[in-house]
Structure 1
Amino acid sequence: MILYDATTIHTAPFPDTAEGRGLRSFLVPLVQHGPGPWFEDRASMFVLGLDDLLIPLSVTDGTFGNSVLHSVYERFIGSQRKAIRTGNWKPLAGFAASSALWGVGAVMKTLRLDKAVQVDCWPSLRNAGADLTADQARRLTAFLTTRFPDHAPYFLAVNPVTHAALLNHLQTQGYDFAYMTHTRMMLPFEPELERRVRENRRRDARLLEPSGYRVVDARELPGCAPRLAELYRRLHREKYATNPPISVTYMEEMLAGSLLDVRALVKDGRVDMFYATVVVNGVMFSPVSGYDTSLPQEVGLYRLINNLLMRDAQARGVMLETGGGADPFKTLRGDRPVPRYNAVYLRHLPSWRHTPWRLAMKVGNEQLLPFSRKRLHAVDGEANVVGFDRVPEVFAPTLPTPREATARQEQELTELEQDLARTEVFSGNERVRHLGALRKRLEDEQLPPARVAPLLERWEHLSHAPQADKKEKRKAQRAVRAELARRLLETATTVGDTTVVCHHLGDGLDFQPRTLAEQLRKGTGSIAVVLTSTRDGTLELVTALAPPLVERGLEARRLLEQMVPPGGAGREGGAELAWAEAALPDDDVSAVLERARAVLHTRLVIPT
């Protein structure tokens, strides 16, 4: 193992990848200058090389005044007292609780709770910790207790959804656990998402377009770091006082680096909101954000920022950690509560040094955990609050792991592709039914738009293909009828001044004979048309007369009656066009046509 400090951090073997370069841009200045320029905290920063891992360490020597990023005391005492002051506590109850915490905190300070080594210290980031193997956890603990024998190694805010295996390995090594409050997570895809959750998400998504805001890359806004720091301060220091300070320097180096994506909402040339994101171990998190709290609540900036984060995570197919706080709002958007624990190793320290940590465990496990459970039961319902009964003997994920959650979304996309392929073999109403069901699934906002777009194109093609096929079929039928009409006219006879078409069209036509008869009737001045065809053992007959013949007293329906044998099927139509179906005659079909010719020759003037 190699321990890199401020003088050697530049030699650490960061991977030559986009992610590796992003980590370098974050860790190198942090180790070289400490957390002071970014967070106003005092700590010595190191990076430990363990196998192929680079693990940041924060070493504090028991002095106090740090933020929650580098102080266990501030996590369990200072921030809780601030929350009591700014919360809805009754004066007497708040005074009693705050006083009790003050007394416990005084003991913690005296017994140097914060003389510790924070392992996997990624200040402002979450879920960035390495998922150590059992052997790595053993070797790391042995190294730290040897290199820093007077310090307590601890892991901060580890949750069982992303790091259940790590928690179990640490437990095996003799670490103790203190509940540290909850966070919340949103899955990228849930097949049975509640209707109210979908409606709330859609309502939030409609806020952006009419708001007049543009979402831009904050790196395209030169000199915006002071404004970002101001927005962070307004939201996270003035409105919510328990968060750590973050400086303009942090914002400048965040924008200069490549680890975080930073988006800003701009309107009339002014930045009113921003958020940064990073994806680590399959979970997206926003380490820093802010908005102008002086704007009216009706603008909906808080709803906007949460919806944009959700859409970014779903577009990448990853889980989203939304953090604690605003539980009633977040549960209505489908976020789930997840417990977090501090894990500390004390076996190498004298017993008096155990005392402040035992007090932290008492506060966390006997006060904060029951309080969280009761409050979350009221907000989320007992069925959705898992893992808050006690510190478990064996840690297990309380939600699908990031890998499982991503696999769910991927499975839905794969099934959509397969169902689209199967739909290609369907036709008619069956295809329409399948396409309707597929469209509803493709419109699920949980699916990444970039992945859904080609599937929607295939859906559009499949939905329009039958119409295109019908259009082409009708076009082909028109061409066939036009050619057939041309040939029939070429072989027609003339009786007086009238063109007479009497013809048997054969069996199994792709169109109705009366369509062709109507076409012929309208195409020539004085014409009489008699057509027959057979279909499934039935004789189809149609007669058509041009208007001049009707004016002379001829009727298509009467002509049809004289052609059809007695007892034939019912006839339809009128003077100009008539049609019927009848059983095939015993004699040849040509006999039917001959009867029609005889009638026409009798009624029409035949030249002498």
Structure 2
Amino acid sequence: MQLRAVADMRANDWPDSEDGRYAARYLTPLAHEGTRAYVTNAHADLYALGNDEVVLPVAVPRGEGPGDSYVLSPYTHYVLYAREELRRETHPVLSALLSPALGAAGRALLAAGFDRAAQANAWLLSTNLYPPALRADHLPPMLHRLLEAFPDRPILFRSLDAHHNPGLLRALEALGCDLLFSRRVYYQDVTTARVRQRKQVRVDLARLRRSPYQEVAGPDFSDADLERARELYGRLYLEKYSRHNPQFTARFFRLARDGALLKLIGYRSPQGRLDAVLGYYVRGAVMTQPIFGYDTALPQSAGLYPLLSARVILEGQRLQLRVNASAGVGPFKRLRGGEPALEYHAVYTRHLPARQRRVWQALRAFLDRAAVPFIERGGY
């Protein structure tokens, strides 16, 4: 199993496979130009971990302090983002009581090197699907190689859940990893009658068919459309939700189009304005949509969010794929047949000093005993 700095790799160093070529197209520009040229709030060095069969990106934070997106920074994920969610989703008094505790916990986590983790399968996206070629027997040599390269850092494998990769979860736990709850995501088996026959799905698909919007395929996006797509994503994910989400640049959208990293689909109004956009990618039998955005200034009656969701269902049916609909808006997704799954990060810390290990173990205990029950009761 090899680990190489992406910036030092040549074209023939990548696996000669669909996944290998995809990784080369995706990671090489980010490594050469810097991750922040593509994701403003993600500053990392990139490595490629793998062999002739499979390759995973490894992101190592540059260690310049808090401020990175949650897709790179565990501190942002578990402290800053959690604080925002508390303010948004809970009673103000409860939020005021818990926020100081989160702050104290955050200081302890940072002191324990929490944000120094070397992170495998880190594409700097909200949902990081694993390549189908990855097997459980690949994981021991992968972990060994990461420990050789980063002996003083936690080792973290991102975005695992029992719905999609139970074998990888079990294998990493058997290797001594702690499973840290990350998010509650939703899967839609859109090819099944259980989803197709949902009343809300039928309503959304009928509205999509009647929509006055014109669909625009990704290769037909002009550079102005790409800039508008960046703006639409930002209106939803950054302005409405959180600045801690990945802040993609216009250069990222251009790379997604020109390198076929994401399949972009847009919707243009009768006035010629791009008002909604989605971007998805596929691994094996699963698709997920890290790009989702629309003009939030338009009235809700425009129905742009349901329009995009209906288009995802149609695409999943066309390609015979299961949809990983990521996290958030749980009631909306359950109405459309979404089934919840707990997503985890697998973290290995046995090589670290006991003081650092205890911090990670305390976080796991808190997440298992408090955070997961709270989220499941709330239906998030």
The TM-score normalised by the length of structure 1 is: 0.59
* Structure 1 residues without counterparts, runs of 5 or longer: 380-608
Q: Does 1:65 align with 2:67?
A: yes
Q: For the residues of structure 2 that align with 1:252 and 1:275, how far apart are their CA atoms?
A: 14
% same residue? 28
Q: Does 1:302 align with 2:302?
A: no
Shift of 1:332: 1.1
Give matches, 1:396-415, under 5 Å. none
Give matches, 1:139-288, under 5 Å. 139-191=141-193, 193=194, 198-223=198-223, 224-241=225-242, 242-267=244-269, 268-288=271-291
Contact preservation (8 Å) 1:34, 1:45: no
Q: For the residues of structure 1 that align with 2:49 and 2:24, how far apart are their CA atoms?
A: 14
Say if 1:213 and 1:105 are closer, same or farther in 2 by CA, change over 3 A: same
Deviations 1:35-72 (A, max 9, x none): 21122211111112334211210112553221111111
What residue identity is the alignment partner of 1:373? E
Say if 1:109 and 1:312 are closer, same or farther in 2 by CA, change over 3 A: same
Q: For the residues of structure 2 that align with 1:81 and 1:5, how far apart are their CA atoms?
A: 35
Partner SS for 2:350: coil
2:114 corresponds to: 113
Partner SS for 2:181: strand
Give me the CA root mean square deviation: 2.0
Say if 1:46 and 1:17 are closer, same or farther in 2 by CA, change over 3 A: closer
What residue identity is the alignment partner of 1:310? I
Shift of 1:231: 0.4
Deviates further, 29-38 or 110-119: 29-38
Q: For the residues of structure 1 that align with 2:17 and 2:158, how far apart are their CA atoms?
A: 27
Contact preservation (8 Å) 1:5, 1:47: yes
Contact preservation (8 Å) 1:37, 1:249: yes
Deviations 1:56-104 (A, max 9, x none): 101125532211111111111111111123x142221111122211111
Q: For the residues of structure 2 that align with 1:45 and 1:255, how far apart are their CA atoms?
A: 21
Q: For the residues of structure 2 that align with 1:278 and 1:229, how far apart are their CA atoms?
A: 17
Q: Does 1:313 align with 2:316?
A: yes
Contact preservation (8 Å) 1:159, 1:340: yes
Shift of 1:129: 4.8
1:516 corresponds to: none
What residue identity is the alignment partner of 2:107? A
Q: For the residues of structure 1 that align with 2:33 and 2:108, how far apart are their CA atoms?
A: 31
2:349 corresponds to: 346
Partner SS for 1:181: strand
What residue identity is the alignment partner of 1:152? P
* Structure 2 residues without counterparts, runs of 5 or longer: none
Contact preservation (8 Å) 1:211, 1:299: no
Deviates further, 290-299 or 358-367: 358-367
Say if 1:93 and 1:12 are closer, same or farther in 2 by CA, change over 3 A: farther
Partner SS for 1:100: helix
Q: For the residues of structure 2 that align with 1:167 and 1:208, how far apart are their CA atoms?
A: 38
Deviates further, 352-361 or 264-273: 352-361
Say if 1:143 and 1:298 are closer, same or farther in 2 by CA, change over 3 A: same
1:370 corresponds to: 373
Give matches, 1:57-136, under 5 Å. 57-60=58-61, 62=63, 63-85=65-87, 87-124=88-125, 125-129=127-131, 132-136=134-138
Deviates further, 107-116 or 48-57: 48-57
Number of equivalenced pairs: 374
Of 326, 330, 347, 1:327 maps to 330
Q: For the residues of structure 2 that align with 1:17 and 1:354, how far apart are their CA atoms?
A: 38
Contact preservation (8 Å) 1:260, 1:278: yes
1:414 corresponds to: none
| Higher relative contact order, structure no. (Cα contacts within 8 Å, ≥ 6 residues apart) | 2
Q: For the residues of structure 2 that align with 1:135 and 1:304, how far apart are their CA atoms?
A: 41
What residue identity is the alignment partner of 1:2? Q
Task: Work out which of the two has the higher radius of gyration on C-alpha atoms and give 1 or 2.
Answer: 1
Q: For the residues of structure 1 that align with 2:34 and 2:361, how far apart are their CA atoms?
A: 29
The TM-score normalised by the length of structure 2 is: 0.92
Shift of 1:236: 0.4
Deviations 1:401-422 (A, max 9, x none): xxxxxxxxxxxxxxxxxxxxxx
Shift of 1:356: 2.9
Shift of 1:131: 6.1
Partner SS for 1:39: coil
Contact preservation (8 Å) 2:15, 2:55: no
Partner SS for 1:263: strand
Deviates further, 205-214 or 224-233: 205-214
Contact preservation (8 Å) 1:61, 1:116: no
Shift of 1:263: 0.6
Deviations 1:290-329 (A, max 9, x none): 1000000001001100000011001111100111211111
Q: For the residues of structure 1 that align with 2:199 and 2:137, how far apart are their CA atoms?
A: 48
Say if 1:129 and 1:102 are closer, same or farther in 2 by CA, change over 3 A: farther
What residue identity is the alignment partner of 1:49? G
Contact preservation (8 Å) 2:26, 2:259: yes
Shift of 1:207: 1.4
What residue identity is the alignment partner of 1:99? P
